[in-house]
Amino acid sequence: MIIAPFKKGEFKIISQYASNSFSLTPLLKKGNLKAKTSFMELYSDFKRKGDISRLASIIDSEVKKTINIMEICGGHTHSIMKYGLHILLKDKINFLHGPGCPVCVMPVKRIDEAIEIADLPDVILAAYGDMMRVPGTDGSLIKERAKGRDVRMVYSPLDIIKIALDKANKDKKIVFLAIGFETTTPMTAALLEEVIARGINNVLFHVNHVLVPPPIKAILDSGDNLIDGFICPGHVSVMTGSGIYDDIPSKYGKAAVIAGFEPYDILSGVLLATRQINENRPTVEIAYKRAVKENGNMKAQALVNKYFTVRDEFEWRGFGNIPESGLKLRDEFRDFDAEYVFKDKLKGLKLRADEKNAGLSGLAVRTDNENASCKCGEILKGKSKPDDCPLFGKACNPENPVGACMVSFEGACAAYYKYRNF
């Protein structure tokens, strides 16, 4: 979801990872994975038709009975649909789509808060593009912008610095709607570090960063699921390493493979998971060694720990409150925390929401303002598929999304709507 402003030369940094082969390399023709300096060549290496059909036929021959694999991340869901990998592996692998789309899982009340903040005088609210359309109780950020509120789309957190230093904005508060999983949190932390280092005093953060493992555990704890194994998002583990998934095999006995986003990466992940399942040896494996190190990016982790701490609980759209699943700024940085700075202004909003939710709790909560027929909650937990939903493609479509999974481009329903494979 983040579009970072890549500069000349950065492609080369990416491409040197290509030389690190991983465990499936011998399956391929020798020399296929050597380092390339051209960005496109690097990517096309992981798309080659011959390699893909070979991997698909290996999986096909090794799977005896249909295996249910949850791909946690919306990026994986999109790749699977875009390339039709689920059709290639039809009857063998049943892909269940997980809760890994940060925009999809953002509850209505956080959007309402952002809208409330955007409505305050002398505030510039800055957000990533895909947050702009997400509907709150009444309206969305894009509608606020149309009303004349100063809501800006940013591609990288560091764009905030430019806005903050613009002389025209010196009397304004720039509030960054920070969102994303472990992948993007370090960029928010880097922004805060930069803001502090430069003594910039007009930037605030509305922090909505969330963690991947808690919803996975919530799904597994609920017991009511078909999942045999997981494909875990590669970019998250670039930051965190592989250890965050240790509970999946050790506590729940399920396979867990960290995979990249190219067709080759995904099928490699599926093959490793298939073998774990066939051999009944659940463990955490990395099918994306050209980018993921076991310990992850320690510098990024230190930066995140310096500024953020885990919230007691955080509400997820479709799930309700999940303990220790979200992040907030540490108390010593609360002067940068929009929730703290504007707490009086947001009080009315909170009261209204609490009233509505009185008597509801935990996974049973259907978050406010969600349509009763909407199956997003079930879909995010892997219990239903988008086309099982009566609203899908009719009342609910990308132009007028009803549920969370249609809202973001990365959502499972949006992927089904967009690609409709057959």
Partner 1 sequence: MNKKKYERILLSHGGGGKETSELIEDIIFKGLYGQNAGNGYIYGSHNGGGISSGISNQKINLLEDAAVLKSPQKIAFTTDSFTVSPIFFNGGDIGKLSVAGTVNDLSVMGAKPLFLSFGLIIEEGFGLEDLRRIINSVSEEASKTGVRVATGDTKVVPAGKADGIFINTSGIGEVLYDNLSVYNITAGDIIIVSGNVGDHGASVMSRREGIEMDVEIESDCASLWSIIDAVLSGGIKVGAIRDATRGGLAAVLNEWAMAADVDIYVEEDKIPVSGPVKGFCELLGFEPYQLACEGRAVFAVKPEFAEKTLGILRSHPLGKNADIIGTVGSAGIKDRQDSHGKVILNGIYGVNRILDYPSGELLPRIC
Tell me the closest approach of the beta carbon of residue 250 to partner 1, in angstroms.
35
Whichever of 234 and 241 has its CB closer to partner 1, that residue is 234
**Contact call for residues 137 and 368 (beta carbons, < 8 A):** yes
* Buried b or exposed e, range 256-286, using 16+ CB within 10 angstroms: bbbbbbbbbbbbbbbbbbbebbeeeebebbb
Rounded to whole angstroms, the Cα distance separating 7 from 404 reads 33
Whichever of 5 and 121 has its CB closer to partner 1, that residue is 5
Length of the chain: 422
Whichever of 205 and 417 has its CB closer to partner 1, that residue is 417
Point out which residues bind partner 1 (CB under 8 A): 3, 5-8, 11, 38-40, 43-44, 47, 49, 52-53, 56, 81-85, 87-88, 133, 155, 263, 392-394, 397-399, 409, 417-422
Tell me the closest approach of the beta carbon of residue 21 to partner 1, in angstroms.
21
Whichever of 130 and 339 has its CB closer to partner 1, that residue is 130
Tell me the closest approach of the beta carbon of residue 166 to partner 1, in angstroms.
15
- Which candidate, 41, 34, 44, places its Cα nearest to that of 264? 44
Q: Is 320 left (phi over 0), alpha (psi -120 to 50) or beta?
A: left
**Contact call for residues 104 and 409 (beta carbons, < 8 A):** no
SS3 at position 231: strand
Rounded to whole angstroms, the Cα distance separating 392 from 141 reads 24
Whichever of 319 and 416 has its CB closer to partner 1, that residue is 416
Whichever of 145 and 293 has its CB closer to partner 1, that residue is 145
Tell me the closest approach of the beta carbon of residue 421 to partner 1, in angstroms.
5
Rounded to whole angstroms, the Cα distance separating 181 from 267 reads 23
The residue with tokens 């007691």 is: 312
Tell me the closest approach of the beta carbon of residue 266 to partner 1, in angstroms.
12
Tell me the closest approach of the beta carbon of residue 52 to partner 1, in angstroms.
6
